[in-house]
Structure 1
Amino acid sequence: MTEQPQYIPIAKAAFNLYLDGQIDLDTLIERLREMELQVQAEEEEETGRQVWFRFFSGDPLKTTISDIEKELSDPTHPNSLILKRGIALGLEADELEVHYSNLRWE
């Protein structure tokens, strides 16, 4: 697991703009994918590695950009609300983590 703390400010900014309604989901995903491309360029991407997020201390999930896109695509679905609350909690507590690794538990 490779933590990428230098990308936390970029992710925080994008998530905050999304939660505040200043950007839509497509723009959020675009910004996160651009960040992932930067990480891949720096880390010389290996097969199966991708950016994922841990939103708050004790968060048991490895939430990928694809997970975010899927979960937030239907704002009326309970998972969308749960994810938004988790993101907001992590931002408020300043616990957001950005990682780049494969998704197997290490």
Structure 2
Amino acid sequence: MKIAFLADPLSTFKTYKDTTYAMMVEAARRGHELYAFRHRDMAIEAGRVVAGISRITLTGDPDDWYRAEPPEARALTEFDAVLERTDPPFDMEYIYATYLLEVAQSHGA
């Protein structure tokens, strides 16, 4: 599966307690492809929701835990799962992102 994580900046994760990190580790262990992006990376282009999304690889080192490829503009419908995993605040950026996720879901994401 291709799993895209809508998450806080990866560099801010505290791997000893972050549940998104734990989900990524388990997904990678099961052989899934991991991708990450942020709210600000999302947009609607030609009626579809796209984002600048980076494929990530886990290193196994809890301090230097990932490698990210350069982001590519990709439609959210290309992924088998898109997980919204950002921490609060519940602000307008979050609300707009949920609107965009609803549009993506209506198109099959």
Normalised by the length of structure 2, the TM-score is 0.33
| Relative contact order higher in (CA < 8 Å, ≥ 6 apart) | 1
The structure with the largest strand share of the pair is: 2
Q: Where is the helix percentage greater, Structure 1 or Structure 2?
A: 1
